[in-house]
Amino acid sequence: MDFSPRNGLRPRPILDRRHQSTVPGVYVAGDLADAPVIKLAMHQGAQLARQIWDQDLRATSTDDPELLDLLIVGAGPAGIGAALELLDTPARIRVLEKDRPFSTLRAFPAGKVLFAEPRTLPTPGGLPFEDGRTEELLAQWDRFLDHRSLPLERSELLGLEPTGEVILAQTAQGPVRCRRVLLATGRRGQPNTLGVPGEQRVRYQLADPAQHSGQRVLVVGGGDSAVEAACDLAEAGADVTLSYRRAQLSRPKPKNKARIQDASERGLLKLELGTTVTSVGAQSVTLARGDQPVEVVSDEVLVQAGARLPTPFLHKLGLRAEGERTWLQWAWMPFFALLVYAFYVLKSGTDYDAELGMHVAKKAFFPFGPGQPLDFVPDLLHVDLGFREVDGAFWGTALYSGLILVFGLRAMWRYRESRVQRWRYLSLISFQLLFLFGIPELLAPAIIHAGGEGGWAWQLFGGDRAWKLYSITVPWPLNIWALIDAPAWMATESAVTAGLWLAVAALVSFVGIPLFVWRHGERFCSWACGCGGLAETLGDLWRHLAPRGADAIKAEWAGRAIFFLAIPTTALLVADAWGLLWHGLGSVKGFAGWWYPLMVDFWLASVVGVALYPLLGNRVWCRFFCPLRAYMELLARRFSRVGIQADDTCISCGECTRYCQMGIDVESYAQQQRPLDNRSSSCIQCGICIEVCPMDVLSIGEAGAPVQIQVGAVAPGPSSCRR
């Protein structure tokens, strides 16, 4: 089962919010940082260079003529954009390029049209860029660069040696001292290979489709590049077969899908979908469709399956790639898990053991159980505050709220450019501090204490039971006790008072939640929920680790199973509370009352859900196990009005997918213009995909509508991406 967070994403170096790599002073831009569109890469390089100069270098500029301010490695779109941005500043810069400027574009097929998109972005340094054929644009750019006299050096970067504030760059022409390095080398020189016998006959670039007229060509791949190459070859007179491992072409943009479908229907090319290459012969290629071999006669084999990260080169420079962990990170994960386990054992609260003469943890697990090394800790946490006695449950909730406050403020700063995100985090913080801590744990107990036994507050809560307020803000089925405990004290209280909390809980769960879902989708998870509060604040550090792919989506059924199990469990406990349970079911009720809180509330919701943050992201509980989210999803699939929209301008950078905490392939929805709502996904409408979109264009709209992306203004930042 593949639960990899890298599923469906192009690998890239680990970058911080400013695009700085794991080597201090070394930044990454362009295709290597997932800016796959030419003008966007130029703009990203220019913005990053300006940011480095303005924030890091300008105020501390030196007079050392041998010390460069910025060494730009790579003269592709990002590197040229960076150089042009600083050309008219006092910054001392140099561009290293082992080939010619724009060498990747020079390998494009002859006649390929380059589009100057997105239209709203300016081209750095006045570089002329209008829609045009590759060879015409390159000739124009060569003349422009000659006129601007870029400090270009034909050389190759061999290594980096950071020494304090100075980085020593080893190049093929000798050492270069610099203060900062901008890596803009791209990844086109590392194509994904087939790994099959005979691969030496395979080509990875298409120079001129016309040269293959009359030849039999097999194209391997299912993205836009493969589809465009297959269609160009077919229109140039080649006999083309396209092989793709999936049963459908889902990745290409709609216009390319329409183009290849039209070519296939007209007999210009043949589609071999659901096939993989097993071997390449001298005059033919063997494909496999399941266990069935398919023989394709071919004069040429062209693989267009994308490019891989130049990991050996990055490692030589000291950079780490996403998904790579250090020994310290591996050591941290079990420590974090043990810390979470201890926290929730103590947070379960205490019972007084008269025989031992001390308070014992309700979850008396090692090492906090009687006679165990830390058995004294639960008793230490039992404190009389005057208006109430508190135990580990109170202190745990206080610490939980403090974490949400601290990391919530951090997240508000991180997404400070977004008014919506600021309000969302303020909502999560306020909801936790007021409704999940302040009122039930402090205010209500203080009022009950002040009114004394028999007062209106005492009557309302059936004694010192302010925790009944949680039935309003933590609804069933997340809190099954909201529907179970209320009538248990009918013998001693009035029927009206006894049924009040049951009625309130039922209204919240069966009226309030459906109405909320109808209007707001599953936003309760990302705007108000206590579990979601910790996930969105502390857990935001690991949101990019969400598992992706078909296996992860299938695993979401676990939450639905728990939801359906919550129904008979609740029914048994309610019947027992009302005295309606047939005595023969007593043991069943006892098992249900023990099993559900232990396995669901303690292990899955508390320990497992949080402990796996550093491994599987911040939404392990919410996505895979939470019965409330499963309940809301079932409702949302039928009548929610919320969705995310897009048109055909997606640039396929993958940022939206990379940071989706629910593991949704948002990029695919945008590419295909498929409706992205709860009819087709587990989206909780947190809106982070909107914030990290490099074009700042995704928006929440009506459910069932196509995803709509409108090219708009670009926010400040190296790639206008808020990560």
More confident residue, 467 or 317: 317
Nearest to 720 by CA among 31, 14, 45: 45
**Separation of alpha carbons 236 and 549, rounded Å:** 37
- pLDDT tier at 644 (50, 70, 90 boundaries)? confident
Ranking 55-69, 287-301, 704-718 by mean pLDDT, the lowest is 704-718
Average of per-residue pLDDT across 18-37: 92
Residue 381 and residue 343 in contact, taking contact as beta carbons nearer than 8 Å: no
Pairing mode, if any, of strands 202-203 and 216-220? unpaired
**Local confidence band at 496 (pLDDT 50, 70, 90 cut-offs):** low
What six digits make up the tokens of 419?
Answer: 């008014």
- Please state, rounded to an integer, the average pLDDT across all residues of the chain: 89
What's the rounded mean pLDDT across residues 339-363? 94
What are the DSSP calls for 156-207, one per residue? Answer: -EEEEEEETTEEEEEETTEEEEEEEEEE---STTSBPP---TTGGGEE---S
3-state secondary structure of 435: helix
pLDDT at 296: 96
Q: What is the mean pLDDT of residues 128-156?
A: 93
Q: Which residue, chain included where needed, has tokens 């508190």?
A: 390
Distance, in Å, from the CA atom of 286 to the CA atom of 292, rounded to the nearest integer, reads 10
Among all chains, which residue has been given the structure tokens 């924030």?
Answer: 55
Element (H, E) at 592: helix 586-595
Q: Model-level pTM?
A: 0.86
Residue 115 identity (one-letter amino acid):
F
Sequence-distant (6+) residues with CB within 8 A of 423 are: none
pLDDT digits (tens, 9 = 90+) for 259-290: 999 999 999 999 999 999 999 999 999 999 99
pLDDT confidence band for 331 (50 / 70 / 90): very high
Measure the CA dihedral 545/548/552/554, to 10°: 150
**689 contact partners, CB below 8 Å, separation of at least 6:** 644, 655, 656, 657, 659, 660, 666, 698
Query: Is the pLDDT assigned to residue 341 strictly greater than 70?
Result: yes
Query: For 199-224, what is the mean pLDDT?
Result: 93
Pair 674, 707: CB distance under 8 Å = yes
Q: Which residue has the higher pLDDT, 374 or 586?
A: 374
Peptide bond preceding 367: is omega within 30 degrees of 0, i.e. cis?
yes
Side-chain half-sphere exposure of 390, counting CA atoms within 13 A: 20
Percent of the chain at pLDDT exceeding 70: 92
Tokens for 247? Answer: 């049963």
Q: Count Cα neighbours of 523 within 13 Å in the Cβ-side half-sphere.
A: 24
Residue 546 binned pLDDT confidence (cut-offs 50, 70, 90): very high
pLDDT in tens, 647-660: 666 777 888 899 99
pLDDT digits (tens, 9 = 90+) for 484-494: 864 444 444 55
Q: Which residue, 338, 342, 360, is CA-closest to 351? A: 360
Counting residues of the chain whose pLDDT is more than 90, the rounded percentage is 66
What pLDDT, on a 0 to 100 scale, did the predictor assign at position 711?
A: 31
